[in-house]
Amino acid sequence: MSAVVQTLTPFIEKSCLLKALQYMEIRFSEQRDKILIQGETDTYFDRELSGKFKLTCYFYTSSVVTMLPQIEQKYIQFYKEHMKELEEKRMEAERARIENERMAYVEKQRQEIIKKAEAKGYKVKEKRNGSEIQLVLVKHTY
Amino acid sequence: MAEKRISITINENGKITAKTDGIKGEMCLTELEEILGEEIPAMSVKKTDEYYQRINSGQKNIQKQGVGK
């Protein structure tokens, strides 16, 4: 004899589990790391020490139990979407970092040129043309 | 009264274009070196006809590649 056991995908990301429950139109309320299922006696998800949310229910025939496979599918879908969102945010943060570095470099160039020009007795006029900086240094000599 | 004029453009990538007017001969390059400082070594220099007119005026067009260029 042999046996094959397949477990549910562990519900680790709470926001994805909540979304899955909402999608399945399961009403719930939250108490810290406990998600109480409304309309069901003593039925709730709570976070185990391992980090996953485990369903505990008073009746094995609870509708939530029968819906677990669909909840799991939606959880997986929302988890993937969540990961994609985080990746996009990470990319955006990286883009902003690089852009800030470029702007800081240009600003430093501008400041150094003005400082040196003024030290040499030039009057500095500055104009912005979009993102372009135009400096006109003028010195009168006799 | 003589006027020395240096027009500098820094584009969005940090590329600098500088042009001098009213500065005689090689002084225009010296003046740019002093103002642009460490930007100078990597830049290309175009000497205009005026550069060689030591008595009347000097003019240079200078371009420097900016960040990551």
Return d(Cα B19, Cα B33) in angstroms, integer. Answer: 12
ipTM of the complex: 0.73
To the nearest whole Å, the CA of B45 is away from the closest chain A CA by: 18
Which residues does chain B have within 8 Å of residue A110's beta carbon, measured at their own beta carbons? Answer: 10
Q: Give the model confidence (pLDDT) of B4-63 as tens digits.
A: 999 999 998 888 888 888 887 778 888 888 898 766 555 566 766 666 665 444 445 555
**Tokens representing B55?**
């008595």
pLDDT score recorded for residue A61: 80
Contact between residue B39 and residue B20 where contact means Cβ atoms under 8 Å apart: no
Q: Within the 82-111 window of chain A, which residues sit less than 8 Å (CB to CB) from chain B? A: 101-102, 105-106, 109-110
Q: List Cβ<8 Å contacts ≥24 apart for B45-54.
A: B51/B25, B51/B26, B52/B25, B53/B25, B54/B24, B54/B25, B54/B26
Q: Give residue B68's pLDDT.
A: 46
Closest CA to B18 of B30, B35, B6: B6
Residues of chain B positioned with their CB less than 8 A from the CB of A106: 10, 12-14, 66-67
Which residues in A lie closer than 8 A to residue B32 (C-beta atoms)?
none
A114 touches chain B (CB under 8 A): no
Q: How far is B26 from chain A (nearest CA, A)?
A: 17
**Percent of chain A whose predicted confidence (pLDDT) is above 70:** 99
Q: A21 and A35 in contact (C-beta within 8 Å)?
A: yes
Distance of alpha carbon B59 from alpha carbon B50, whole angstroms: 5
Residues in chain B: 69
How much of chain A is in helix, strand and coil states, percent to nearest 5?
Answer: 45, 25, 30
Residue B33 touches chain A, beta carbons under 8 Å: no
Cα A117 to Cα A134: distance, rounded to the nearest angstrom: 14
Q: Do B64 and B16 contact (CB within 8 A), yes or no? A: yes
> Residue A141 corresponds to which amino acid?
T
Indicate the domain borders of chain A.
14-138
